[in-house]
Chains A and B, each alone.
Chain A
Amino acid sequence: MIEYILGHYNYWIVIFLMMTGFYIVISRGNMIKKIAGLNIFQVSVFLLYISIGNVRDGTAPIITEGFTVYSNPLPHVLILTAIVVGVATTSLALALVVRIREAYGTIEEDEIHNKDQSL
C-alpha cells in the first residue's frame, strides 16, 4: 500500500492541482481569474504527461555521452505543442476579455449576464 502511494503520489498531487484550476474555471465569474485558472488546469495536465514520461534515474532526452537512461521524449514533444496551443488560447481569450470589457464595461460574468438580460 505504501509502495502504491509512493508510486503514484506525483499523479495525485498533479490531479489535485488540476482540480484546483478546473474549479477556478468553472466556479468563478471574473474572466481574468478564469483564464488564470484555465492555465493552471492546462499546466497541470502538462505535468501529468511529463510524469507519465518520467523514468527514474533517467535524464533529459538529449543524447550525451555518459548517460544511458533517458526519460521518454514523446510526452515532451506533445506537451511542447500543447503549451503552444495553451498560449494561443490564452491570448485569444484575453483579447476577447478586452473587447468584452470595452463593450460591457465589466469583466464579471454575472454582470454581463444581467446586462444582456436587461436589454
Chain B
Amino acid sequence: MIETHLSLLLVVIPLIAAPIVAILPNGRLPWLVTLLVSLSCLVLAIMQLWNVADGSIISYELGGWAPPWGIEYRIDVINAFVALLVAGVAAVTLPYALLSVEKEIPTKQISLFYSAFLLCLSGLLGITQTGDIFNLFVFLEISSLSSYALISLGKQRKALTAAYQYLFMGTIGATFILIGIGLAYAVTGTLNMADLAARLPEVEATRTLQTAFIFLLIGVAIKLAVFPLHLWLPNAYAYAPSVITIFLAATATKVAAYVLIRIIFTVFGASLAFQEMHIHWLLLPLASIAVISASLVAIFQYNIKRMLAYSSVAQIGYILLGIGIASATGLTASLLHLFNHALMKAALFMALGAVLYQVGSVALQDMAGLGRRMPWTMAAFVAGGLSLIGVPLTVGFISKLYLILAAFEQGWWWLIVVVAIGSLLAIVYIWRIVETAYFKPTSHSNVTEAPLSLLLPLWLIVIANFYFGIDTSLTVSVSESAANMLLGGKP
C-alpha cells in the first residue's frame, strides 16, 4: 500500500500530523512527533526518488478522478529530487531544533510552533509533488502563511516587520500567480500542468498566454526573491528564529526555483519562453546584477544572519543564470545548485544558530574569538563558507563548475566573469567572519562549545557538503536526467 500511495503520503503525513501536534501538550512530545514525521517523510522521499530515478513517471490520481478533471500528482525525477531535498533538510533540522526552539520560543507556544512547522513542510512538499497548477497555488499558500507566522516569532521586534514585509510581497506574488493561472485557464480551459503543456501549441501565439506566462513568472520571482523583488528576504531570514532560518533558507527558495523551472520548461516550454519571449534577456541580466549587488551588500552587513541572507539572494542569482542559459548543462547546474546551496546554507545557518544559542547574538563583533571558544561550530562555519565560495571538493564547486561549463558552451564570457566576481565577493564576506572569529581577541570569556544535539546535525550537513562535493555521481546524474527531461529529451 505504501508503495502505491507513496507520493501522496509524503504530503499527507505531515498534513495530518500538524493538527495532532497542535493539540498536544507543550513540551518535548510535539518535537518528537514532528521528528518522526519528518524522518518518515525522508524515507518516503528516498523511496520515491528510487522509483523514478530510471526516468519513469508516477501519476497519482487524487480522489480517483482522471486528470485533467481531478487533481493529479505527477512525479518525475525533478519532483522527487526537490522533495528529497525538502524532506532531508527537515529531517536534519529537527534534531537541531529541540534545544534551539526551547531557547527561542516561549514554552506555551511550542506545540503551535511545531504544528506550523509541519504545515510549512507539508506545503512545500505539496508544491513539489503536484501536477495541478492550482493545487500548487494552494500549497504555496499553506507554506507561505505558516512561514510568515514562523518568521514573526523571532525575538527582535524587527521580526514582525520582516514577516509583514514578506507577507505583503508574498501575497502580491501569490496574487500574480493567481492572475497567471486564470489567464492560462482562460485560453486553455485546463489546470493540469501536463494537459496545459499539451494544449498550449494551439494557442501559443496568443497575447493572453504570453501575459499569463509573464504574470506567473513575476509571481514566482517574488517568492524566489529574484532581484529586484528580493527585498523581503534579507530581513525575513535575519530575524526569524534560527531553526526557521535554516529550514526556509534551505528549502523555501529552492521550492520556488523548482516552480519556476516547472513553469518555464514543463508547462510553457522552452521554445515559448526563450525563442518567442526571450525571457533570458530579462533573467540573465537580473541574475547577474543579483549575484554581484547582493554579494556587495553582504560585505557591508554586521548582522551575520543578514549577511548570509544577502548571500542567498546572490546564490539565487546563480540558479537563475543556469535557468537563463536554458541548455542541458545550464539546467543541470541550476538543479545542482538547488541542492548544493541548500546544503551550504543549512550548514552556515546551523552554525550561526549554534552561535546564537551560546552567545545570544550574531553580530560580527560578538563573534570575536569564537574560533577558540566554539571550535567545532566555527570550523563548520568555515567549511560551509568554503563551500559557498566554491572551493573544490565542496558542493559549491560542483554547481559553479557546471554553470561555468554551460557558459563556455554558449561562449558567454561576461557570465563567467559574473560567476567569478560573485565567488570573489563571497571570499570577502566569509573571510570577515573567519578573521573575526579566529584572529581577534574574544570578548566572551565564559562561552563554551554548543551542545551536541546542535553540533551533530550541523556536522552531518557539513559532511554532506563535502561528500556531495566529492562523490557527485548521485546529484549529477539525477540533475542531468532531470535537465534532459525538462528539455524534452530522454533522461
A96 sits at the interface (CB 8 A): yes
- Choose from B145, B164, B181 the contact partner of A97 (Cβ within 8 Å): B164
A85: chain B residues at CB < 8 Å are 138, 141, 174
**Could you tell me if A38 and B185 are in contact, using CB atoms closer than 8 angstroms?**
no
Q: Which of A34, A75, A96, A116 has the most CB of B within 10 A?
A: A96
A92: chain B residues at CB < 8 Å are 145, 148-149, 167
CA distance A45 to B176 in the complex (A): 9
Q: Mark each residue of chain B from 186 to 209: 1 if its CB lies under 8 Å from any CB of chain A, else 0.
A: 100001000000000000000000
CA distance A81 to B167 in the complex (A): 19
B491 sits at the interface (CB 8 A): no
- Choose from A25, A52, A74, A100 the contact partner of B160 (Cβ within 8 Å): A100
**Could you tell me if B186 and A52 are in contact, using CB atoms closer than 8 angstroms?**
yes
Q: Mark each residue of chain B from 101 to 139: 1 if its CB lies under 8 Å from any CB of chain A, else 0.
A: 000000000000000000000000000000000100110
A49 sits at the interface (CB 8 A): yes
**Could you tell me if A89 and B179 are in contact, using CB atoms closer than 8 angstroms?**
no
With A42-B175, A48-B182 known as contacts, the answer to whether A93 contacts B145 (CB < 8 A) is no
B175: chain A residues at CB < 8 Å are 41-42, 45
With A85-B138, A100-B161, A112-B161 known as contacts, the answer to whether A48 contacts B179 (CB < 8 A) is yes
With A45-B178, A92-B148 known as contacts, the answer to whether A116 contacts B172 (CB < 8 A) is no
**Could you tell me if B164 and A96 are in contact, using CB atoms closer than 8 angstroms?**
yes
- Choose from B138, B160, B168 the contact partner of A103 (Cβ within 8 Å): B160
A78: chain B residues at CB < 8 Å are 134, 181, 191
B157 sits at the interface (CB 8 A): yes
Q: Mark each residue of chain A from 65 to 91: 1 if its CB lies under 8 Å from any CB of chain B, else 0.
A: 000000000110010011001001100
B262 sits at the interface (CB 8 A): no
B141: chain A residues at CB < 8 Å are 85, 88-89
**Could you tell me if A116 and B185 are in contact, using CB atoms closer than 8 angstroms?**
no
Secondary structure dominating the interface of A: helix
A25 → B minimal CB distance (Å): 7
A45: chain B residues at CB < 8 Å are 175, 178-179, 182
Q: State how many residues of chain B have any CB contact under 8 Å with chain A.
A: 27
Q: State how many residues of chain A have any CB contact under 8 Å with chain B.
A: 31
B245 sits at the interface (CB 8 A): no
With A48-B179, A116-B161 known as contacts, the answer to whether A96 contacts B145 (CB < 8 A) is no
**Could you tell me if A103 and B145 are in contact, using CB atoms closer than 8 angstroms?**
no
CA distance A103 to B182 in the complex (A): 39
**Could you tell me if B179 and A100 are in contact, using CB atoms closer than 8 angstroms?**
no
**Could you tell me if B158 and A25 are in contact, using CB atoms closer than 8 angstroms?**
no
**Could you tell me if A52 and B172 are in contact, using CB atoms closer than 8 angstroms?**
no
- Choose from A42, A96, A104 the contact partner of B167 (Cβ within 8 Å): A96
A33 sits at the interface (CB 8 A): no
**Could you tell me if A52 and B182 are in contact, using CB atoms closer than 8 angstroms?**
yes
Q: How many A-B residue pairs have C-beta atoms within 8 angstroms? Tell me.
A: 75
A55 → B minimal CB distance (Å): 13
CA distance A74 to B171 in the complex (A): 23
A42: chain B residues at CB < 8 Å are 171, 175, 178
**Could you tell me if A88 and B145 are in contact, using CB atoms closer than 8 angstroms?**
yes
CA distance A56 to B16 in the complex (A): 42
A88 → B minimal CB distance (Å): 6
**Could you tell me if A38 and B171 are in contact, using CB atoms closer than 8 angstroms?**
yes
8 Å CB interface, A1-44 against B: 18, 22, 25-26, 31, 34, 38, 41-42
**Could you tell me if B152 and A96 are in contact, using CB atoms closer than 8 angstroms?**
yes
B181: chain A residues at CB < 8 Å are 78
B182: chain A residues at CB < 8 Å are 45, 48-49, 52, 75
B163: chain A residues at CB < 8 Å are 96
- Choose from B178, B185, B191 the contact partner of A52 (Cβ within 8 Å): B185
B167: chain A residues at CB < 8 Å are 89, 92-93, 96
CA distance A18 to B149 in the complex (A): 27
With A45-B178, A52-B185 known as contacts, the answer to whether A100 contacts B164 (CB < 8 A) is yes
Q: Which of B148, B152, B161, B186 has the most CB of A within 10 A?
A: B161
CA distance A48 to B211 in the complex (A): 14
CA distance A85 to B148 in the complex (A): 14
A94 → B minimal CB distance (Å): 10
**Could you tell me if A99 and B152 are in contact, using CB atoms closer than 8 angstroms?**
yes
**Could you tell me if B160 and A96 are in contact, using CB atoms closer than 8 angstroms?**
yes
B250 → A minimal CB distance (Å): 23
**Could you tell me if A93 and B157 are in contact, using CB atoms closer than 8 angstroms?**
no
**Could you tell me if A104 and B157 are in contact, using CB atoms closer than 8 angstroms?**
yes
B161: chain A residues at CB < 8 Å are 100, 104, 112, 116
Q: Which of B167, B178, B185 has the most CB of A within 10 A?
A: B178
Q: Mark each residue of chain B from 143 to 159: 1 if its CB lies under 8 Å from any CB of chain A, else 0.
A: 00100110010000110
A10 → B minimal CB distance (Å): 12
A38: chain B residues at CB < 8 Å are 168, 171-172
With A81-B138, A103-B157 known as contacts, the answer to whether A96 contacts B178 (CB < 8 A) is no
What are 6 A-B contacts defined by CB distance under 8 Å? A45-B178, A52-B185, A93-B167, A99-B160, A100-B157, A116-B161
Q: Give me 4 other A-B pairs in contact (C-beta within 8 A), A41-B175, A82-B137, A89-B171 excluded.
A: A49-B182, A52-B182, A92-B167, A93-B164
4 closest A-B pairs by beta carbon, nearest first, are A103-B157, A52-B186, A85-B141, A96-B164
